Each structure stands twice: as C-alpha cells, then as structure tokens.
C-alpha cells in the first residue's frame, strides 16, 4: 500500500473504467475501511448496499438520469457545465455510473444527529482505500434525486429508517485521470 499523504493527493474522480469486476474480497476490504471513519457519539450510523448486477445498475442509472433532468433544465442557459451534463443525461446509452462494475450506496440512520458527516467520512475512507489498491472511484451526486424516491428505495432494498447519503462507483481505471487545477484555499488566521 502507498503512503497515506500520497494517496490523499493523488486520488481522482474516475469516470472511465475497464470491465473487470471488483472482487468480493476487495469490496469487503473497502467497507471495512469505511467503518473505521469517525462518527458522532460513535453511533456508526451507516449501512452499505452493494450493487454489481449490470441490469440493476442500468435500471438505476436510467432512474437517476430521469430524476436529474428536471433539476438541470432551468440552468441549461446559465451554466455551461449544467448544460453539458444535461446533454449527457439525455443521450441514449450513457451511464450515470460511467459503466463502472460496482456501485456502493452508503445509507445513514435518519435518527443519528451527524449522519451526513459520518457517512461522508466513511465514503472518503472507502475512496482512499480503493485508490491504495489501484481501484478508481467517484461519488455520483447526480443519483441523489432518484434516491429520494421511496419507490426506488424500496426496489433496491434500502434499509428502513435510513436515507441515501453517498452513492459511490468503483472500478479499475481505463487510463490515467488528469489532475485538475487546485485553487489556493482562502485561509484566515485568528490569533
């Protein structure tokens, strides 16, 4: 495994994948790493849904695309990125999951006071652990509107009393992902 600082600085959102499946052993490793994330009051409010079936991934991708289109439609003339993504969503045959062989949705217990933060940290652990093993990842925020639909949640077997927090795709990268420009952060010191 690589040095943790190198992993943090070199992890990228991957959107081009080979078809190779991620082994169940590696999936269990990623989930094990996720569970070591900090959580408010140590509630560990997460539940993991693993989806590897291509038909299920395709169906969920279509549901996600349909749910996202009305959100982006009003922005199409004001924002180029929104406009480009809208074209992607409307293009037949595109996958919201970029043909990744694995989707893991982290659900969080609705009663946990810090559930969103806790599950986000678990997701980051998974993505960093994946990168350390040569597995690419990407958080698919565009799926979130579909994951608010109770019918879809029931279809995929989401746990009762939980909400979808982090839909993550995983797969072996096809090529190398470019490093995006990093802006200097605004930092204020109070001394």
Q: What is the pLDDT of residues 15-24, one digit of tens each?
A: 999 999 999 9
| Kind of pairing between the strands at 136-139 and 162-171 | antiparallel
What is the reported pLDDT for 56? 96
What is the reported pLDDT for 114? 98
The residue-averaged pLDDT of 142-161 equals 96
Pairwise CA distance, residues 37 & 123, whole Å: 9
Q: For 154-189, how does the pLDDT look when each residue is reduced to its tens digit (9 = 90+)? A: 999 999 999 999 999 999 999 999 888 999 999 999
What is the reported pLDDT for 2? 59
Q: Where are the domains of the chain?
A: 4-53+95-171
Residue 103, phi then psi, degrees to nearest 5 = -125, 130
pLDDT-wise least confident of 66-75, 76-85, 122-131, 169-178? 76-85
Q: For 82-101, how does the pLDDT look when each residue is reduced to its tens digit (9 = 90+)? A: 899 999 999 999 999 999 99
Q: In this structure, which topology does domain 4-53+95-171 adopt according to CATH? A: NADH Oxidase (3.40.109)
The residue-averaged pLDDT of 14-39 equals 97
Q: Do residues 19 and 101 lie in contact, with contact meaning Cβ atoms separated by under 8 Å?
A: yes
Q: Which residue spans within 98-181 are E strands per DSSP?
A: 102-109, 136-139, 162-171
* Higher pLDDT among residues 169 and 81, named by residue: 169
Q: Name the nearest CA neighbour of 172 among 99, 117, 121, 118.
A: 99
The whole-chain average pLDDT of the chain stands at 95
What is the reported pLDDT for 23? 98
- Cβ-count burial of 80 within 10 angstroms (0-12 exposed, 13-18 middle, 19+ buried)? exposed
Res. 103: pLDDT tops 60: yes
């Amino acid at each position: 495994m690589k040095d943790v600082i190198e992993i943090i600085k070199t992890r990228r959102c991957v959107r081009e994948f080979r078809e190779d499946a991620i082994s169940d052993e590696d999936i269990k490793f990623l989930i094990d790493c996720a569970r070591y994330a900090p959580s408010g009051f140590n509630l560990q409010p997460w539940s993991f849904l693993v989806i590897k079936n291509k038909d299920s991934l395709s169906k969920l991708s279509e549901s996600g695309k349909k749910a996202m289109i009305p959100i982006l439609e009003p922005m199409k003339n004001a924002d180029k990125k929104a406009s480009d993504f809208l074209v992607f969503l409307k293009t037949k045959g595109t996958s919201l999951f970029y043909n990744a062989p694995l989707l893991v949705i982290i659900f969080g217990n609705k009663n946990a006071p810090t559930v969103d933060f806790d599950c986000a940290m678990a997701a980051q652990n998974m993505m960093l652990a994946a990168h350390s093993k040569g597995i690419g990842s990407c958080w698919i925020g565009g799926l979130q509107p579909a994951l608010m639909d109770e019918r879809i949640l029931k279809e995929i077997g989401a746990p009762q009393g939980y909400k979808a927090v982090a839909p993550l795709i995983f797969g072996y990268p096809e090529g190398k992902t470019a490093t995006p420009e990093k802006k200097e952060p605004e930092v204020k010191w109070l001394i």
